[in-house]
Amino acid sequence: MSRWESWILHLSMMLVTVSGVAYFWAKYLVKASDPFSVINHPLQPFFLKLHLISAPFLLFIVGILFSSHIAKKLSGGTPSNKRSGIVSLVTFPLMVFSGYLLQIFSDPLFLQISVLTHIASSALFIVAYSIHLAISIVLWRRIEKEELAARSRMQLERV
């Protein structure tokens, strides 16, 4: 994965996560002061719009990364980081599909199923992605440290 792909992925992931968590907080955890209000917090519509605008960017970058990162790592890659990547890969389509279904369902039962699926798959995806990122950083630093040690040994051997 190139540096720009990594930055766009992390930025879009952060924007979608923060806007989604903020919307969840405003919609489900804040109690409206007016019992007849359709929104619980004045920023609730903003959080939803931000979430709906930023989510396609995340979908786009994951699509780009499928060939440059995901497909390559599925066939090879580090076993210690593969599990979190697979969980992310499985929960991502559930999260996306249920998010789109939220926009089209009007039946209360289907809407409730979509909401629960979206919240659960999103939470699992965020946890798996975070674990995947943390393990990647640890592995990257370990490789960097080993390369630095190898270069130092080579320099000592030359002297």
Averaged confidence pLDDT in the chain:
89
Quick: pLDDT tens for 36-81.
Answer: 888 999 999 999 999 999 999 999 999 988 887 777 777 776 666 7
Quick: pLDDT tens for 94-145.
Answer: 999 999 999 999 999 999 999 999 999 999 999 999 999 898 888 888 888 8
> Model-level pTM?
0.83
- The candidate with the shortest Cα–Cα distance to 54, out of 90, 92, 11, is 11
pLDDT at position 6 over 90: no
Query: Tokens standing for 18?
Result: 């923060």
Query: Tokens standing for 129?
Result: 């992605």
Q: Where are the alpha helices (DSSP H) in 25-43?
A: none
Cβ-proximal residues to 65 (8 Å cutoff; 6+ apart), any chain: 1, 5, 9
